Every structure is written in C-alpha cells, then in structure tokens.
Amino acid sequence: MPISSGMVRLEDEPDGSTIVWVGGVPSSSMRIEPDFLDFEYMRHEAAAVDAWARPERLLALHVGAGVCTLPRYLAHRYGDSRHIAVDIDADLPRLAREWWDLPRAPRLRIREQDGLEALTTRHDDSIDLLVRDAFAGDETPPPLCSDQWWTEARRVLRPGGLILANVGTRPGGSAHRTDARAASDVFGAMVAIGEPAVLKGRRRGNVILAHSSGLNVDQLRRYAASAPLPTGVSTRWPA
C-alpha cells in the first residue's frame, strides 16, 4: 500500500512474524508478542541496552520510527522507560498503531519529524538513549550521518547516556566509513557489533555502532559469543 515515502508491503511468515518491506527493502519485523526481535541487528541493539548502566526511568529518542518494533520491545522490557519515535513518513507509524498493539503515550509518543530536526529542537542533556535507525532504501540519509548530526547527538545525550546507530555497509563502500569517522570524531572510541564478515568488509550487512561511558563491552562480547548467528564485537571498526 502507498505511504508518504513510497510503498509498504507486509508479508506474513510461517513462524508467526510479519516482515515489513519499505521501498522494496525489508525494514522490520513484528509479532503479536512484544518481547521477541526477529532481526539480528535489533537483537544487537537490545543487547547493548542490556549491557548499559541504565537509569531507572530512561527517556529514549528513536530517529526512524518505522513500525516501532524496537521502541515497543524496550517499552515492554523496561516498564518505567519512556520513548519518543520520530519518522519523516507520516503514514507508516500511524498504520503501525492500527496493525499492532503499540504502547500509548506517554510510554510511546510517535511524531512526524525530520531526524536532524528532532535533535536540533531538543534541549541539552535531555535524552538517556538515542537510537538512529533511519534509511532511504538501504542507506542512511546523508543529513543523519553528518558531522552536524553526530555533534547534535552529543549535545542532547545526557552524561552516561547511550547512543546506537544502525549503519548499512557494503564491500568497497565508503559511506559507512564516513559515518563511523564522524561518530568517533565526536564521541571517541565506538563499539561496533555485527556479523564478523560484515565487520571485516567482506559482506554486505548492518553494523550497530554504540557508545556510552556506562557500556559494559565484556558483557557485549559474552552476548556475541552465545548469539544464535555468528556475531563479533570490535572497538576498531572499520579497520
């Protein structure tokens, strides 16, 4: 069906999940149960939140709401958390509320908003968790991986806060390198989580960049060692 940014297609899978395709790209997956994540990169994001010294009542901003799979999961897992999900597409999050049982405000507030504007309009030190998962096709829009975006991310993140960014990679590509360089210029050392072949640049896929002074990297490595699919954790990505 048509949405503001193009087309969305839902495909029901035999395992009970529904794959959400946006613009011909598998964007997300949703189930009736809120406590399960199908996409591996979302499991990496959830593992990073688990390995973080979280405040008791965290406030999260999700740039790239989609159908709110991760905000829904985190709102369920951390009952005192509050989530703001912004998306440039006005239709998709609205439809997601019709299709699935998403938490209501104030637990989950959904806004139509540009991802850079979502940061520039916020006060300093106003967010505990910032998640960037916004794509145009299979790439992050340039304004959302620019030096300005990462600088604004640093400004709005509270001390000890956690930032997570979903980075699309492809062998021989340069966009992910530019993105990661901008992140490290602002935040310093970043932790990368992903399939080992993807981290080494041999295969196309997704890498999660994470940073927080309260992030337990050893716990992340233990998660990676027991993950269902091969998973690596690197503090020197890209090589």
pLDDT at 45 over 90: yes
Mean pLDDT of 108-131: 96
Quote the tokens at residue 160: 């000890």
The answer as to whether 18 is a domain residue is no
Predicted local confidence at residue 93, as pLDDT: 85
CB 75 within 8 A of CB 81: yes
CB 38 within 8 A of CB 32: no
Structural domain for 209, as ranges: 34-234
pTM score? 0.96
Rounded Cα distance between 115 and 95, Å, is 20
Grade residue 239 by pLDDT with cuts at 50, 70 and 90: confident
DSSP, collapsed to helix, strand or coil, labels residue 238 as coil
Query: How would you classify residue 28: left for phi > 0, otherwise alpha for psi between -120 and 50, otherwise beta?
Result: beta
pLDDT at 138 over 80: no
Q: What proportion of the chain, given as a percentage, has pLDDT over 90?
A: 87
Quote the tokens at residue 144: 């959302």
The answer as to whether 117 is a domain residue is yes
Assess whether the previous peptide bond of 2 is cis (omega < 30° from 0).
Answer: no
Name the residue type at position 235: T
Predicted local confidence at residue 25, as pLDDT: 87
Rounded Cα distance between 188 and 70, Å, is 26
Predicted local confidence at residue 104, as pLDDT: 94
Number of domains in the chain: 1
CB 186 within 8 A of CB 153: yes
The answer as to whether 5 is a domain residue is no
Grade residue 24 by pLDDT with cuts at 50, 70 and 90: confident
The answer as to whether 79 is a domain residue is yes
Grade residue 71 by pLDDT with cuts at 50, 70 and 90: very high
The answer as to whether 152 is a domain residue is yes
Q: What proportion of the chain, given as a percentage, has pLDDT over 70?
A: 100
CB 67 within 8 A of CB 110: no
Rounded Cα distance between 225 and 205, Å, is 19
Average predicted confidence (pLDDT) for the chain: 95
Predicted local confidence at residue 159, as pLDDT: 97
The answer as to whether 10 is a domain residue is no
CATH number of the domain where residue 108 is located: 3.40.50.150
Write out pLDDT tens, residues 206-219: 999 999 999 999 99
The answer as to whether 29 is a domain residue is no
Grade residue 79 by pLDDT with cuts at 50, 70 and 90: very high
Grade residue 6 by pLDDT with cuts at 50, 70 and 90: confident
Q: Which residues contact 181 (CB under 8 A, 6 or more apart)?
A: none
Rounded Cα distance between 188 and 6, Å, is 37
Mean pLDDT of 21-36: 91
For residue 210, report the phi and psi dihedrals to the nearest 5 degrees. Answer: -140, 145
Predicted local confidence at residue 5, as pLDDT: 83
The answer as to whether 134 is a domain residue is yes
